[in-house]
Amino acid sequence: MKDEYEVALLYADPAFRASMAAQFEGAAGTDYSVKFNLAPPVLSSGDKPRKRVFGQWLWPVLSGLARFRSLRGGFFDVFGRTLERRMERQLAHDYEITISRAFALGSSADLDDVRALAALFERVRGYGHVKLAQLAAVKRAEHTIVARMGIEGFTSDAVQEAIDAARIGAGGSLKGIPVVVVRE
């Protein structure tokens, strides 16, 4: 997954600007303008990030942000404080604990269930509400598998907070988007 630092790194890459110059005639800012459609979490109010249009003045900001990617996950990472980033960090921890509980069963564990449990978390993809919908579906499937195995799955506070914030249940709506849950 690309976070804000990776996006900045891609846009600030001289190869990206060179490919743009090769595709368009003239100079950026003079003959054509570049606009960035971004939804920075630090400028979003509430739980719905809104895309905003930024002009070419953003090039140096993106270059600076790309240089500060070493801050990722640390105290000074302003993006790391969002609910989604906290959930992502904790989800890896949840996975480790749940998988270690499954392995602790030893030979009594059904290998197919352990494989299914291990593969579940690959389905948590996307951004924003799409990722949260996937997370909720994965946690529901995890609950079914661990119950069958006779162990308890682990869900950290940050992951549970993300699921609760998405207001996902067995149907209903997800931030105004109708959600239909199909049980397999």
Could you give the C-alpha distances from 22 to 10, 15, 58, 108, in angstroms and in order? 17, 10, 21, 61
**Rounded Cα–Cα distance for residues 56 and 70 (Å):** 25
Please say whether the beta carbons of 129 and 49 come within 8 A: no
- What's the pTM value of the predicted model, to 2 decimals? 0.63
Q: What is the DSSP string of 105-149?
A: TGGGS-HHHHHHHHHHGGG--SSHHHHHHHHHHHHHHHHHHHHHH
Domains of the chain by residue range: 4-71, 82-179
Ranges in the chain, pLDDT < 50: 168-184
Question: What is the model's pLDDT at position 1?
Answer: 52
Q: Tell me: the pLDDT tens digits for 112-146? A: 888 888 899 888 887 777 788 888 888 889 999 99
